[in-house]
Amino acid sequence: MAENAAYPCEEVQARLDDYLDQELAPEETRRMLEHLDTCADCAALCRRAYEELAEMRARMQDFQVPAALQEDILRTLAESLPNE
């Protein structure tokens, strides 16, 4: 495959999470977009994944971690760090 060619479906599907999290390099993003512009199946998959991610993020805005759990997590993290 040429370096500047669009990704095949398998590659798009493998990189979809990184694409949605905006963790791809500019060239990788360009190749993803090039494929999504020409492949209805992958574009639909991407839209569904984006909608699910947006819904999950919206739900997480209202999630409150109980104070006792926060303290337990912080204590566990502190105990797992190497002593300096």
Angle subtended at Cα 10 by Cα 6 and Cα 12, rounded to the nearest 5 degrees: 50
Give the tens place of pLDDT for each residue, 9-59.
999 999 999 999 999 999 999 999 999 999 999 999 999 999 999 999 888
Q: End-to-end alpha-carbon separation of the chain, Å?
A: 50
Question: Is residue 1 situated within a structural domain?
Answer: no
Give the tens place of pLDDT for each residue, 49-84.
999 999 998 888 888 889 999 999 999 999 888 875
Return the amino acid letter for 54: A
Position 1 scores a pLDDT of: 39
| Residue 21 domain boundaries | 9-80
For residues 62 and 72, give the distance between their C-alpha atoms in angstroms, rounded to a whole number.
Answer: 21
**How many domains in the chain?**
1
Prediction pTM value: 0.66
Strands (E), the chain: none
Question: Is residue 2 situated within a structural domain?
Answer: no
DSSP 3: T
